Chain A
Amino acid sequence: MKAMVQVVLCRCCIEVSKLLDMERLQKVASESNNVVSTVAVDAVCDGRNLAPVMAEAKLKEVDRAVVLACHKKDISPAVVKAYRRAGVNEYLVEFVNIREEVVLPHMGDHESAQKKAETKLRAAISRAVLLSPLEKLTEQMATRNVVIIGAGVAGQAAASEAARTGAHTILLEKTGRSLKAPGVILPHSQVVGAKGYGGNFTLRIRAGEKSEDLGAAAVVVATGGGWTSLRGPLAKAVKDAMPLYRFYEVLLSGSPPNGPVVIVDTPDPVGKTVRVQDYAWDETLETVIELKKKHPDTLVTVVFQEMRAFGLSELAYKEAADIGVRFVRYDRNGSPKVDPKQPNTLTVKDLSLGEVLSIRFGTLVFASIPPNEDNKLLADALRISMTADGGTRRGSIQRWPVTTPKPGVFVCGSALFPKSKAEAKVEGQAAGAMAGAFVMRGVVEYGGVVAEVTQDKCSACLTCVRTCPYEAPFIGTASKAEIRIQACQGCGMCVGICPSKAIELRNYTDEQIMTETRTLLGGDF
């Protein structure tokens, strides 16, 4: 049966830029025998604009589509919903990111932008023709448990919100401190292992000497930052040293700082290459400027190994220097030290002067603090990824700030990166509400773009089993690999490594990828 493709061109991305020729793109689309409809729409992200497109889709009996607009993440919810209503499977809609891949990188270069847009359109049509409709399956969740790991500010807020949705909350706390939160509270307990997938996790909980399994439909990671006990020699030598966020709170309260202020990048700098989170520098510069403006007489020194102040922060750096903030750079051979016998003096070798400076201070502040070491163990157990800074990685800072890329696992508070109590609380509430809503759905969706084994080709060599980060492949009763579809995230690692080419990712088969690539290269390969 012939594939019936509809090509949708978003005016917002194509015409507004004045870079691309809409008519020529329409002509390119019509060159393909499979394209039965080409429509231009004002902004595809607005569902209301899609009504005439869908009317045309039904009229022309369209069964698949190519959409030229901006990032798939921005537009796919509206577009996929509309097509689903028009009877088109969501996996048969192919997106081309014209804005970020053509318009933005080729500003002012009409010819190459047009050529690239046309090539990408041809490639997307060639791929769309080969796509297969895929279905999502559902499975009942075994429990309504939301397990919240960590009972700090964020964790308690998450428990309250999750409980309001009707989910059963279980709050795990590493210490034995007394807590007020709804649901079950397990003090002195930690997650040491996890199996399963969103909707049906089995967590291994260790409480003191005992270990037991706990079923969970969703998990909220609220492990906090590492600063509840500041580690490192500087923190040890100076008892009242504080992290930046706490100093900022002092500053907001209006009381003047205690004596000269020294801000060091980390409490543990000795003999090390220090790498702190980028945002720490934005916040440090913001804080010192405010400090200098409020209390101009305070002596402020920032001691750092490597400062990365991007974008407008560079101006902030200049402003800070202009209003009298001292910046002292050091390297691993001249790390800052505080002699515990003289807890008011910091010595550091200034890299520019080549001299050792003694800086007297009343307040010692750390721009950054080491991340919670539990995060790594937990990330291994839950198989979620981490940032280079040692925090938990989230879905998207704008769209899904408290989700992780793994369905059913949410994250909030300082497990992401150090933040204030107020922020941690808001994030905890958001994560709790999302986890509760996830659990109360009662079913998990899975499938779609997942790996599939051609068992005749499988040698049961275990390579996929060893490679998969999600424990999706296993060797089944037929002594051949099988994929636990619920666990499969569609990453394709097993597909790439399988020595017998026995595994394929649905809708990313060799044929589909090669056809698309060939078209991108002008069909001559």
Chain B
Amino acid sequence: MIVAKRKPLGEIAEMLASYKKVTVIGCRSCVAICLAGGEKEVKMLVSALKIRNRKEGKRQDFEGLVVERQCEKEWVKEVEDKILGSDITLSMACSLGAQTIGDMYPKHLTFPGLNTGIFGVPEEQGVWSEKCVGCGDCIIHTTGGICPISRCAKSMLNGPCGGSADRKCEVNLEVECAWAAIYDRLKLQNRLDLIERITPAKDWSTSHSGGRRVFVREDAKLTQHQKKGKEVVL
């Protein structure tokens, strides 16, 4: 899932300082599950901002609400009046949610309340670790199911490098060397021959380069005719 972290209260308060009426909108998908922007976090942030204002003798109106998935226009549309009825919207979704609202209502201000971080896996309650960077060309079938692009500090395709010692990475001694993990996994699977095979330079054109990437599923796209039949115009 997409894992995000709430911005510090001071930073959020500063962002919103000059606006009277603020709508805080959370999202019930990834960011709720990673305990960053669900209904509870929205309500807690609104309470914290109110307490802060009270201490500083300021007055602002806050309203907190959540939508099912903020990255989808249909869900955002449901709270349109709340968005447009305020001076500013603080999105407590990932940046996708914030940008969806921003694209739908370009004149209206939508600020991010979260720092969107990683594609992460919950290792245990309260701990998420990055295991994918969305490079667009998955190779983990050759690396024992472990992604060297996200988990190796140097994103090496033919590791480990000379900085790997005692299973730790030279960049950060807290971090496990991805290639040590790959070696162990391949050994377990009896496929150690793969580690000797040289993987040629990766085709990075599928990764983040040259502007934003758009994925298209032609067969799922609606035809002009089908689109015309829709009543709701977003």
Chain A residues within CB distance 8 Å of chain B: 457, 459, 461, 463, 466-467, 497-501
Contact between B35 and A459, CB atoms less than 8 A apart: no
A499 to B39, CA, bound (A): 6
CB distance from A512 to the nearest CB of B (A): 16
Partner of A463, one of B29, B39, B41, B125: B125
Contact between B29 and A499, CB atoms less than 8 A apart: no
Residue of B nearest to A498 (CB): B40
Residue of A nearest to B124 (CB): A466
Partner of A501, one of B33, B43, B125: B43
Known A463-B33, A466-B124, A498-B40; further 18 A-B contacts with Cβ < 8 A: A459-B28, A459-B29, A459-B32, A459-B33, A459-B38, A463-B35, A466-B125, A467-B125, A497-B35, A499-B32, A499-B35, A499-B39, A499-B41, A500-B38, A500-B39, A501-B38, A501-B40, A501-B43
A498 to B28, CA, bound (A): 12
Contact between A461 and B32, CB atoms less than 8 A apart: yes
* Residues of A with C-beta under 8 A to B33: 459, 461, 463, 499
A500 to B32, CA, bound (A): 6
Residue of B nearest to A458 (CB): B28
* Residues of B with C-beta under 8 A to A467: 125
* Residues of B with C-beta under 8 A to A497: 35
CB distance from B201 to the nearest CB of A (A): 40
* Residues of A with C-beta under 8 A to B32: 459, 461, 499-500
CB distance from A117 to the nearest CB of B (A): 28
Residue of A nearest to B54 (CB): A525
A466 to B126, CA, bound (A): 11
**B32-51 residues at the A interface, CB under 8 angstroms:** 32-33, 35, 38-41, 43
* Residues of A with C-beta under 8 A to B29: 459
* Residues of B with C-beta under 8 A to A457: 28, 39
CB distance from B54 to the nearest CB of A (A): 9
Give B140-183 as 1s and 0s: 1 = Cβ < 8 Å from A's Cβ atoms.
00000000000000000000000000000000000000000000
Contact between B38 and A499, CB atoms less than 8 A apart: yes
Query: Secondary structure of the A side of the interface?
Result: loop
CB distance from B194 to the nearest CB of A (A): 34
How many contacts A-B (CB < 8 Å)? 34
CB distance from A494 to the nearest CB of B (A): 12
Interface size class of B (residues with CB under 8 A): 10 to 19
A466 to B127, CA, bound (A): 13
* Residues of A with C-beta under 8 A to B28: 457, 459, 500
Chain B residues within CB distance 8 Å of chain A: 28-29, 32-33, 35, 38-41, 43, 66, 124-125
Residue of A nearest to B66 (CB): A500
Interface pairs A-B: 5 shortest CB-CB: A499-B38, A461-B33, A501-B39, A499-B32, A466-B125
Most chain B Cβ neighbours within 10 Å, of A467, A498, A501: A501
Residue of A nearest to B68 (CB): A459
* Residues of A with C-beta under 8 A to B43: 501
Most chain B Cβ neighbours within 10 Å, of A459, A463, A499, A501: A499
A466 to B123, CA, bound (A): 12
A59 to B29, CA, bound (A): 54
Contact between B125 and A499, CB atoms less than 8 A apart: no
A500 to B92, CA, bound (A): 13
* Residues of A with C-beta under 8 A to B40: 498-501
* Residues of B with C-beta under 8 A to A500: 28, 32, 38-40, 66
A457 to B66, CA, bound (A): 10
* Residues of A with C-beta under 8 A to B41: 499
A512 to B158, CA, bound (A): 60
CB distance from B122 to the nearest CB of A (A): 8
* Residues of B with C-beta under 8 A to A461: 32-33
CB distance from A185 to the nearest CB of B (A): 41
A466 to B35, CA, bound (A): 14
A226 to B42, CA, bound (A): 50
CB distance from B124 to the nearest CB of A (A): 8
A501 to B37, CA, bound (A): 12
A459 to B35, CA, bound (A): 12
Residue of A nearest to B38 (CB): A499
A499 to B125, CA, bound (A): 12
* Residues of A with C-beta under 8 A to B66: 500
Residue of A nearest to B31 (CB): A499
A497 to B38, CA, bound (A): 11
CB distance from A468 to the nearest CB of B (A): 11
Residue of B nearest to A496 (CB): B40
CB distance from A289 to the nearest CB of B (A): 51
CB distance from A522 to the nearest CB of B (A): 14
CB distance from B182 to the nearest CB of A (A): 28
Residue of B nearest to A501 (CB): B39
CB distance from A498 to the nearest CB of B (A): 7
* Residues of B with C-beta under 8 A to A463: 33, 35, 125
A483 to B38, CA, bound (A): 21
* Residues of A with C-beta under 8 A to B39: 457, 499-501
A499 to B122, CA, bound (A): 15
CB distance from A309 to the nearest CB of B (A): 41
A459 to B165, CA, bound (A): 42
CB distance from A84 to the nearest CB of B (A): 36
Residue of A nearest to B36 (CB): A499
A459 to B125, CA, bound (A): 16
CB distance from B34 to the nearest CB of A (A): 8
A466 to B28, CA, bound (A): 19
CB distance from A451 to the nearest CB of B (A): 15
A499 to B33, CA, bound (A): 7
A461 to B32, CA, bound (A): 8
CB distance from B232 to the nearest CB of A (A): 23
CB distance from B48 to the nearest CB of A (A): 14
A384 to B140, CA, bound (A): 43
Residue of A nearest to B32 (CB): A499
A467 to B122, CA, bound (A): 14
CB distance from A500 to the nearest CB of B (A): 5
A3 to B66, CA, bound (A): 33
CB distance from B20 to the nearest CB of A (A): 21
